[in-house]
Amino acid sequence: MKRFIVAPSILTANFLNLGKELDNLKEAGLEWIHYDVMDYNFVPNLTFGPKILSDITSKYDFKIDIHLMVQVLNISVEEYLKPFINNKIKQLTFHFESLNKEQVVEFISFCKKNNIAASLAVNPDTSLSYLDEYLNDLDNILVMSVFPGFGGQKFIEKTYEKIKALKNLKLEKKLNFRIQVDGGVNEQTFKLVQEAGAEMIVAGSYLVGGLSVEKIKQRVWKLEN
Ligand code: DX5
Ligand code: ZN
């Protein structure tokens, strides 16, 4: 069976201890880090940008999954993304809702050019049908199971149906994109998320925030088994 990807989000870390949190995630065997970029514009929160990312990637070997919850104004998508890019960046996700059509096209071609997985996210109230025209070009689709902006929110139950619908679409059209889910994933919600068809999940508060290596290992084990 194809291995399921668990990507811890550092959004819920205590940033005074970020190095320690990353050491623990590494020691617990995690390969990916989910990096939530927010702009106080597309979402009501502000996080981090390229500097903290390059501090992380210059020291650690994690594969990086960047989740951009931002609008791109007065600058090209390429210019916006360039400062974030290095060889550890394996996936970039923009929200379908935050870009216009030209920007989506520019974004996807930027990813292809740089050999990075191209991913679009949809908010809980956005229909998957908006993604129809991009399905062939996407490497990943991120189904949001909370409204983006904060860690520690409750999983929105109707997301299960959305994941199933996306899985059916993928099978029906024989498409290659991966199905990712972000928000409120924990021991209670995980099994149903996986059964519904998710292949990659993000976990913030469940895995990051002062947990010991042992605790992280136990929780990841529960997610993977
Ligand atoms: C929320 C972020 C998530 C967040 C998940 O907008 O995109 O990645 O960190 O945190 P939990 O797992 O606590 O919902
Ligand atoms: Zn995220």
The three-point CA angle 108-123-61 to 5° equals 55
CATH, range 5-224: 3.20.20.70
Please list, in sequence order, all residues whose beta carbon lies within 8 angstroms of the beta carbon of residue 156, skipping any fewer than 6 positions away: 124, 145, 146, 183, 184
Quick: pLDDT tens for 125-146.
Answer: 999 999 999 999 999 999 999 9
State whether residue 121 is helix, strand or coil: strand
Distances (CA, A) of 77 to 36, 186, 215: 17, 33, 39
- For residue 186, the CA-to-ligand 1 centroid distance in Å is 11
Residues labelled catalytic: 36, 182
Residue to mutate, 35, 43, 182, 211, ligand 1, most ligand atoms under 8 Å from C-beta: 182
Q: Identify which ligand lies nearest to the alpha carbon of 13.
A: 1
Q: Which residues line ligand 1 (CB under 6 A)?
A: 9, 11-12, 34, 36, 67, 146, 148-153, 182-185, 202-206
According to the model, what pLDDT value does residue 102 have?
A: 98
Domain boundaries, the chain: 5-224
Quick: pLDDT tens for 167-218.
Answer: 999 999 999 999 999 999 999 999 999 999 999 999 999 999 999 999 999 9
As a whole number of angstroms, the distance between CA 145 and CA 59 comes to 31
The pTM of this model reads 0.98
